Amino acid sequence: MPYPLECLPYGLRQRLRDLCTPIEAYNIQNAAPYYYGLQPLIKKVEAEYLLYCQSDNVFEGRRFQEPSNIHCKPAADMIFVTDNFRLQNCTNIINTIKIFANVYFSGTITLQHCSITKELIDSVLEHLDPKCNGVVRLLEVEGSVNSTLSAVEICSMLPFPRSLRFSSFPFSRNWIHNDLKEAKGISYLEILAGIDFLDVDPTDFYYFFKVSFF
């Protein structure tokens, strides 16, 4: 049952604030602004685009409607809201998931040279901006480092409508039957690959598009 904040002693409010992620703290502060014991206040930065590079442990991007650029390390007193989020060189999944405590995003997310796992995709979906109604406008996968998921598994985890772009993804030779078999509900699919990628049976190719797209 709900527990009113005003019933919490000051010390417990401070403890609650300490235990919250930056996004959780921002949501509480937004619901009860300037309530004693929930400080320090979280700063929200709206960004046109945002990139996080794990090898450098920095956020880079451009502020929305402002000329200043973003270049900073993850901080406990700041969250980012963006329509275009890119993860780069993220191979440590545990540390990658922690980054989502600082980011709300909607629209497009790009995973560039990342380890693609179920835990990563789950974190992507859990940290969508509530305003986008749980829809990923476009998931872009550029390359992969030790992907544990096939293209169809990535596709099946996304809510409808499913829009994907794969670039230099490690598809198998018989990708129609192995990597994208039974992939359904795709509204947009773009694959950037070599010419040998189309060396498949024409009938299989036809039925793949007939079944996968609506």
Could you give the percent of the chain with pLDDT greater than 90?
25
For residues 57 and 158, state if they share a domain. yes
Residue 70, Cβ density class (10 Å: 0-12 exposed, 13-18 middle, ≥19 buried): buried
For residues 35 and 52, state if they share a domain. no
For residues 28 and 54, state if they share a domain. no
For residues 89 and 7, state if they share a domain. no
What does the DSSP 8-state code read for residue 159?
P
- Backbone φ and ψ for 127, nearest 5 degrees, come out as -110, 25
Could you give the percent of the chain with pLDDT greater than 70?
89
For residues 145 and 88, state if they share a domain. yes
Tell whether the model's pLDDT for residue 31 goes beyond 60: yes
For residues 31 and 53, state if they share a domain. no
For residues 3 and 77, state if they share a domain. no
For residues 188 and 156, state if they share a domain. yes
For residues 23 and 97, state if they share a domain. no
Average pLDDT over residues 81-91: 92
For residues 125 and 175, state if they share a domain. yes
Listed ranges 29-38, 64-73, 108-117; the one with the highest mean pLDDT: 108-117
Range of the domain at 82: 47-212
Q: How far apart are CA 214 and CA 209, in angstroms?
A: 9
Structure tokens at 105: 């995003």
For residues 111 and 158, state if they share a domain. yes
Residues 6+ positions from 208 with CB-CB distance below 8 Å: 176, 180
Between 56 and 180, residue with greater pLDDT? 56
Q: How far apart are CA 173 and CA 109, in angstroms?
A: 27
CA dihedral over 144, 146, 152, 158, signed as positive or negative:
negative
Distance of CA 133 to the CA centre of its chain: 14
For residues 30 and 129, state if they share a domain. no
Q: Dump pLDDT digits (tens) for 91-150.
A: 998 999 889 889 988 888 999 999 999 999 998 888 887 766 656 778 899 988 778 888
As separate numbers, helices (DSSP H) first and strands (DSSP E) second, the chain gives: 7, 8
What does the DSSP 8-state code read for residue 197?
G
Residue 38 confidence (pLDDT) = 82
Q: Count how many domains the chain has.
A: 2
Residue 204 confidence (pLDDT) = 78
